[in-house]
Structures are given as structure tokens and as C-alpha cells.
A = this chain, B = another copy of it.
Amino acid sequence: MTLTELRYIVALARERHFGRAAEKCFVSQPTLSVAVKKLEDELGVALFERGGSEVSVTPVGRRIVEQAQRVLEEATTIKHMAEQGKDELAGPLRFGAIYTIGPYLMPQLIPLLHKRSPRMPLLIQENYTVRLAELLKTGELDVVALSLPFAEPGIVTQAVYDEPFRVLMPADHPWARKSRIPATDLCRENLLLLSTGNCFREQVLQTCAGVERATNDSMQQSLEGSSLETIRQMVASGVGITVLPSAAAEGRTIDTRLTAVRPFASPVPSRRVALAWRRSFPRPRAIEVVRQAILACKLAGVTLLPNATSLPAG
């Protein structure tokens, strides 16, 4: 049985004439004749009654032709579905971000993307890098914004911007008088950090104080799952100081009287933020649109990398 054969019998049932039905199908009369006969043989039943100049449909034929129409209709909706799905910028994009990017990027990214690509709603999820990697590989997420380095088989990454770190301290902290803070000074302070699992925690530890510092009991261990915003509140209340990505440190004017933000002295520690997606993800244009939108976001202190090339991670 062939969709073509079904088209033929539907046309023949309509026209009740092999020649005209063949015309309607843009084939020759013998072609249609043979195809109809072939289908009848295959089904083992006569669909049409050929009587001289009269072609009529048998009772079984009528039912089968109706069913054939149904099949053809269902088949054409496949084409419609494909037509709709053709547009890479149509349909939801499942977007993930790590905790230290999401809250500062999404408020700008979402409205911008909604404006630029209104038919592509973002489905957002924040999580740890490792979890995002899982979701990405299992196809539960399409694109992830995270911090390099990131290496997973089958995943490609593309750097989007570099983001310097900043020191956040109580407004009355002695360092507030300095314009730049040397990274090595941090080890003497009570440094508030995110809970384990956040890659930013490790980056701060590595960059500013060396990993061995992490075992020092004098350093404040913040509670599991707490966010940068919680830590900011703690700094404001004078518990200690912390390090934030620039986009998190600035751009929030809530408590400028309680806290002070200072840049690091050179060499300025920073992180490289990138997008990651499956190499095989079939909507590259959707990703490019997201990347351009992120580049257009006003993120305090970041250095854009508009020409970065995507790299196979792993």
C-alpha cells in the first residue's frame, strides 16, 4: 500500500472515470489503472466496479476510500507540522544557567529576547554546573550559560564574555578607602563563600587565596544553597567580606550605603562565561540569537567576546 495509491483511489472515487482521475493526479491513465489494480490485488478485494463506461465504487471500496482520505489528511498534517517546525526561531528554547549568572543575566535577557525573537519563549532553569551538564546531555535542556572551563563529550561551548571579580565589603570596612584590592589580601579576611557545588566558590578560592585556604576554619562557610544575594545581605550586616562577579556586584543599588564594591588590583581575577549546547542540537540559529542577545545585555564590568568561536568541549 502506498500513499500514492491511496491518492489514486480517492481521485478515482471522486471522478468515477480512470482518465479524468489520472489527469487530476497528473499521471497517465495506464499508470493510475495499474496502480489501482495493484492495490486491489494487495487488499484482495475489488474497490471499484468497472462497467463499460461506468465506474462505480463497491461498498467495501467506499469505506476504504473514506479511510484513505483520513490517512492522507493525517499525512498532510505531518507536512504542516514540519512547516511550523522549520523555523528554528519558533518553539520554546530550554535555557539553563548557573546560580551566579542566572539572577543577573535573565532579567535583561528575557525581555530582550522576547523582543528580538517573540516566537521563541525561554524555559529557564537555574542549577549547578554538574546538574546542568546532565540535563544538557539528556536533552532536557538546549542551551546552558555557565563558566569555563567546561568539558563534556558531545558538548560545544562558545565564550560570550569575560567577567572580572569584585570585592564586596561593609561600607565601613577599612578597605573601603582603597581603590583596588590585591587578591592576596583576601586570605586575612573573613571571606563569605557560596556552598560547595557552586563553581564560583572554587574559582574564588583558587584565584584569591589558594585551595589550602579552604580548610582554614576561620573562613566562614555559608549555608548550603544560599545565594549570592544572601551573602550580600550578610556582608551588609558586617559579618565579613566576599567576592562577586562584576555583574552581581554592581547593577544593584539596593544598599550602597551599607556595602562598598572595590575592584581587584592587577592581575584582576575573572571568569569566562560561555554558552554550551549539544554539538548535534539542530537549532544553531536559535543559539546564535541567544548569544547576540546576551552580548547586547548591559552587564556591568564585563568584556564582550563577540567574535569567539564555538569549541568542542571535551
Chain B residues with Cβ below 8 Å from A92 are 59
Q: Are B3 and A2 in contact (CB under 8 A)?
A: yes
Cross-chain contact B44 with A86 (CB below 8 angstroms):
yes
**Given A3-B1, A75-B71, A78-B71, CB of A63 within 8 Å of CB of B85:** yes
Residue of B nearest to A281 (CB): B49
Partner of A45, one of B52, B82, B137: B82
- CB atoms of B51 and A154 under 8 A apart: yes
Query: Do A91 and B59 form a contact, CB below 8 Å, given A82-B44, A86-B45?
Result: yes
Flag if A70 contacts B64 (CB, 8 Å). Answer: no
Contact present for A56 and B139 (CB under 8 Å): yes
Q: Is the CB of A85 within 8 A of B51?
A: no
Question: Is A78's CB under 8 angstroms from B68's CB?
Answer: yes
A50's contact among B59, B91, B280, by CB below 8 Å, is which? B280
Distance in Å: Cβ of A280 to nearest Cβ of chain B: 4
**Is A172 part of the binding interface, using a Cβ–Cβ cutoff of 8 Å?**
no
**This chain: how many copies in the complex?**
2
Nearest B residue to A278, CB-CB: B51
Closest B residue by C-beta to A142: B59
A229: Cβ under 8 A from any B Cβ: no
Bound CA–CA A270/B288 (angstroms): 94
Residues in B with CB closer than 8 Å to A280 are: 49-51
If A49-B278, A278-B51 touch, whether A81 touches B67 (CB-CB below 8 Å) is yes
Q: Which of A117-171 contact B (CB under 8 A)?
A: 137, 139, 153-154
Decide if B49 touches A78 in the complex (CB within 8 Å). no
Tell me which residues from 57 to 80 in chain A have a Cβ below 8 Å from any Cβ of chain B. 58-60, 63-64, 67-68, 70-71, 74-75, 77-79
Rounded to whole angstroms, the CA-CA distance of A58 and B51 in the bound complex is: 51
Residue A185 CB within 8 A of the other chain: no
Interface string of A263-294 (1 = CB under 8 A from B): 00000000000000011111000000000000
> Which residue of B52, B60, B137 is within 8 Å of A82 (Cβ)?
B60
Q: Are A74 and B85 in contact (CB under 8 A)?
A: no
Query: With the chains together, A139 CA to B77 CA distance in Å?
Result: 35
Per-residue CB contact flags for chain A residues 6-47 toward chain B (1 = under 8 Å, else 0) read 100000000000000000000000000000000000011110
Give CA–CA (A54, B136) in the complex, Å.
Answer: 12
Q: Which of B1, B46, B64, B281 contacts A282 (CB 8 A)?
A: B46
Given contacts A139-B56, A153-B52, contact A75 B1 (CB under 8 A): yes
The 6 closest A-B pairs by CB, nearest first: A60-B85, A43-B82, A46-B282, A51-B280, A71-B74, A49-B280
29 A-B contact pairs sorted by A residue (CB < 8 Å): A1-B78, A2-B3, A6-B78, A43-B78, A43-B79, A44-B83, A44-B86, A45-B85, A49-B278, A49-B280, A49-B281, A51-B278, A51-B280, A54-B154, A56-B139, A58-B85, A58-B282, A59-B85, A59-B92, A60-B81, A60-B84, A64-B78, A64-B85, A67-B78, A67-B81, A68-B78, A70-B74, A71-B74, A74-B74
